[in-house]
Amino acid sequence: MTVEALIFDVFGTCVDWRTGVAREVATAAAAKGLQIDSIAFADAWRDLYQPRMEEIRSGRRSYVDLDVLHRENLDATLDSFGITGHFSEEDRIALNHAWEKLPPWPDVVPGLIRLKANRIIAPCSNGSIALMTRLARYGALPWDCILGAGIARAYKPDARAYLATCEALRLEPAHVMMVAAHNDDLSAARDCGLKTAFVARPLENGTGQISDLKASSHWDIVAADFLALSAHLDFRPHG
């Protein structure tokens, strides 16, 4: 198994979006003198993520980048929390940048540094190039380049997101490994011919998480974290 590039899901797999977004929401709310459940707000904001992308995946809407969808979902979430009137256009633009300030899980940066020594590493996220670039600067994620929806103009699990990523690297899908904490992401990548690695993130959705607690299929690798993934790959010749 020759893996020349590793591509990564980001939200949930590399970074703790829930903690990061809740922190930014709490700061913004406090500045307005509002008391809200910032974790519940982060969850509500994120709950709109899949349905909003589905409008694009289904063809009912042309591709727009995730920053635009996040902003629409922010407006809807402010509405549902009954606090719309407290946030000006400028406040909303600022709060939408919450998605660029998400803490990496502790193993991610040291793991990526090791993985990068022998292979190309890049995000294959639904986040835009702009978002992924700023998030990488925030968390010191040492990507070689930014791939995914931003270059494919299609949202995972649409096959084009994976295939455009491989094509941009001029690599056959069989030489590219998708790394994700979400079984459905890996399933779509495998359908495109990519190799797959599962790393569970059991706290992505908090202590009550019920989905993706473990691998649901025979992925090429199942690793406890990115350091274990690195050890796994380097143990095998040409792995």
Contact footprint for a second copy (CB under 8 A) = 65, 67, 120, 122, 128-130, 132-134, 136-137, 143-147, 150-151, 168-171
Minimum CB distance to a second copy, residue 85 (Å): 27
Contact 165, 147 (CB under 8 A): yes
Integer Cα distance of 230 and 239 in angstroms: 10
Tell which phi-psi region holds residue 181, choosing left (phi > 0), alpha (psi between -120 and 50) or beta: alpha
**CA–CA gap between residue 225 and residue 227 (Å, rounded):** 6
Residue closer to a second copy, measured from CB, 28 or 151? 151
Least distance from a second copy to the Cβ atom of residue 129, Å: 4
- CA dist., res. 81 & res. 71, Å (int): 15
- For residues 177 and 199, which CB has a smaller minimum distance to a second copy in the complex? 177
Q: Which is nearer to a second copy, 36 or 129 (CB)?
A: 129
> CB of residue 131 vs a second copy: minimum separation in angstroms?
8
In the complex, minimum distance from the CB of residue 145 to a second copy, in angstroms, rounded to a whole number? 4
Complex with a second copy: residue 73 or 128, whichever CB lies closer? 128
Cα–Cα dist 3/196, whole Å: 10
Q: Which amino acid is at 84?
A: T
